Structure 1
């Protein structure tokens, strides 16, 4: 019989019980539920609402339940509606009346909100650690392959030569913004709803500041109705996961392209490739493709919660039970994807010769030739027109700009001189981009140093956040 059954003459039907149960999902939050219950019990004892002996029995009973759950020996009762009922029912069986007093001044509404916030903070810290680990791998590859030249693209057409390190660091900075979003979501979750009860607070003299301290929250939520109904922090988590998956999908799209026979820029490790059941020569970038595909799954988790929350009246509604599964799924998907992408980057073989050969093709020196004319006084728009005509001339004759004689060049502009092709090899073109944030060698060295400093700051920040997590369960 359910712990709330006193008002009912018969139990919930078996089908409805299965439909309404959240235990298969929220049992993952058992450590957070027990932490919240211990904090609540300690607070009740401090306030004189429970006597010290009851608090001691409750805490010992809860820690014993947690130990069993940690070890996998806890016997789950599928008739329990959720993790809260599972823990409380077992506690009452283990310690008797003291366990039945634990719920004094508390509702499942503020209990589930507390559990979910604590669990979200734990998920987000794991994602922050995964993000930092992936950025370290990308930074290491950028350092290892410094000096490798590749074609930069716009519209997937050859544009200008760039350092491969510069290209990789673009993803480092994307993921740095993801770190910021993940930390912002952690801070959004970092508020204590415990003590708000069902929606209106309680007549018991609860000390919400004390439970806030015990559970490592920064502050108690000031409005009890908002406290039990707010799931914005899960939207923040899901949005951060969605943007990060989008960034990983972009990188994976390039990994897939770069590893084709046509490009041959990289060779993936066997550990991150699969073969074909019929074509023995195949080496497929399946895990990059799967990461790209799973991005839609995480987007779906975000849209699902947005839709669930749409038009919900205050305060708590059963719809909110649907908020947890998508967040858990998205966080788990992103965690796995970051680890997989990190493995691909850490173990790939970069084919520098293939990259450099392509960097010379597609008239990637055209902008520098136009700049050459502009430095000699020709307005850049006119220089752009001249070089465009040169490119058309070369295409018709299947030549590159580097193949033209000085006579041919001067037929388009008398400003061309013997030094026109100096520094127009791919490395020279890249090296000439000396502006801050550019692809020049010295500029990228500066960027590498800045990236290392940023990663160090972010890792120290993550360690600081980890130090603010609760430890009321004796772990």
Structure 2
């Protein structure tokens, strides 16, 4: 196929070099957006009297025909493919459509349009996921589970409170996604190669046709800017990190030694040699996807880090990482969405596990503080009490009041309520705390914030 350039060249490009430089196999996925941009640009040319009404109709009709097929893999890229197709259908008229426009401003425009559409799809997945998490948290708002620090049983919390921590992570991701969308609302078309163009083509008209909210301010920056791809990569990095942490918990919880979670057959696989096995493959693969996403992010940043302004061929390489990020995040979110309704918690095991490791020892110290003892002194008293329990193979729940009074005369019978799982949880009645009362309030706020971000996306 002929090139869009070549007048100043005496020799043809080396065949193997030509294959190496091609991007058609990758950027063909942007073809529908290429059509959209040329359609809008054709209308702008008509409004500014560069083509007449009949010519406009002819181009738009041919775009409809071309859109139905894309097959010429000998093209250098989708821009040259479409231009030569338009020339094939319309003769010299096809050459007029590219007046004042470069592949440099065109590629960043269509990439932004594509990413805007994909962000909307991810936004919808996040809505479904967060709604499911909030609903599940409401079901389990009062169900005890041990909370962990350093992977050691620390203090009792509720399953609902734990699940709302997922929502908080994904809420931040949702806000990051919204910021990604905002960064894409600047139309670069009309910046041409790097300096703008010499024609009376109103960029505001192009902006409106393509549904952008703003225009890029500087043509040099407009054609070289890939910050929006970096921002999206950052979003992908964080959300896959959050999903990986959640998955790690689910892997641990489904382990036989924990037995907090019963894996559904719908999200598990077996062993080819051990017939009893049920493996948490979904969560393991989500965890592994972090490496892929991090690698894509590093690739994009490395492509950009040493480029002189403005546009360079290096930017051709950003598409594979971007497309892979989009594909991976959508597939991961969709799979994660499907697992939420079938999570089955072993609440009995969770409750008895919450009794272990003197998990309400802090509540005992707080009890003494309320009696007038400084916390550090109370901490020491309770530490001595725990040491006594370990030595005598008893727990704080079954130690007698007489034994407690050996450590402090301030202990009374009511301390045993504070030492219970239910009392410990209920006493955390602070904004953002794990008491059932606060969990229900947090659920209400979570629904409000989710509805708010849905409105902001419109």
**TM-score, scaled to structure 2:** 0.98
Cα distance per residue 1:207-234 (max 9 Å; x no partner): 1000001111111111111110000011
Aligned-pair CA distance for 1:6? 2.7
Aligned to 1:336, what secondary structure does the other structure show?
A: helix
1:411 aligns with 2:427: no
Deviations, residues 169-219 of structure 1 (Å, cap 9, x unaligned): 011011011011011011111111101111111111111000001111111
- The question of 1:114 aligning with 2:115 is answered no
**What are the residue-to-residue correspondences of 1:137-152 with 2, within 5 Å?**
137-152=132-147
Contact 1:268 1:344 in 2 (8 A): no
Q: Following TM superposition, by how much is the alpha carbon of 1:23 offset from its aligned partner in structure 2, in angstroms?
A: 1.3
The aligned counterpart of 2:33 is 32
Matches of 1:22 and 1:398 in 2, distance apart? 70
2:242 aligned partner: 247
Q: Is the 8 A contact 1:57 1:98 kept in 2?
A: no
Q: What is the CA–CA distance in structure 1 between the aligned matches of 2:399 and 2:213, rounded to whole Å?
A: 68
Unaligned 5+ segments in structure 2 are none
Cα displacement string for residues 253-291 of structure 1 (whole angstroms, at most 9, x for unaligned residues)? 001001110111111211111110000111101111111
SS at match of 1:150: strand
- Provide TM-score, normalisation by structure 1: 0.94
2:336 to 341, 345, 348: 341
8 Å CA contact 1:109–1:198 kept in 2: the answer is yes
1:434 is aligned to: 429
Counterpart in 2 of 1:158? Answer: 153
For 1:378, the equivalent position in structure 2 comes to: 373
Q: More deviation in 122-131 or 39-48?
A: 122-131
Which residue in 1 is equivalent to 2:19?
A: 18
- What is the Cα deviation at residue 8 of structure 1? 2.5
CA contact (8 A) 1:146 1:163 kept: yes
For residues 21-61 of structure 1, the C-alpha deviation after alignment (integer angstroms, 9 at most, x for no partner) is: 11111111111111111111111111111222221111111
Shift of 1:242: 0.7
> CA separation in 1, counterparts of 2:89 and 2:282?
47
Contact 2:233 2:297 in 1 (8 A): yes
Pairwise mapping of residues 44-123 of structure 1 onto structure 2 (< 5 A)? 44-66=45-67, 68=68, 74-123=69-118
Checking the alignment, whether the CA contact within 8 Å between 2:363 and 2:418 is kept in structure 1 is no
- Inter-partner Cα distance in structure 1 for 2:263 and 2:340: 8
Partner of 1:321: 316
Distance 1:207 1:164 in 2: 57
Task: Look up the SS of the partner of 2:215 in the other structure.
Answer: coil
Looking at structure 2, the residues matched to 164 and 17 of structure 1 have their Cα atoms a distance apart, in angstroms, of 58
| Partner residue of 2:442 out of 430, 440, 447 | 447
In structure 1, distance between residues paired with 2:337 and 2:419: 35
Count of residue pairs brought into register by the alignment? 457
Structure 1: how far apart are the matches of 2:87 and 2:447?
53
Contact 1:76 1:86 in 2 (8 A): no
The CA distance in 2 between the partners of 1:21 and 1:300, in whole Å, is 23
Report Cα offsets for 1:291-316 as digits up to 9, x if no partner.
Answer: 11111111111111111101211111
Deviation at 1:75, TM superposition (A): 4.4
Partner of 1:173: 168
CA contact 2:55–2:93 (8 Å) conserved in 1:
yes
Matches within 5 A, 1:190-205: 190-205=185-200
CA contact (8 A) 1:252 1:288 kept: yes
Moved more, 137-146 or 213-222: 137-146
Contact 2:134 2:443 in 1 (8 A): yes
Deviation string 1:66-85 (CA, Å, 9 cap, x unpaired) is 2x1xxxxx241111111112
Three-state SS of the structure 1 residue aligned to 2:148 is: strand
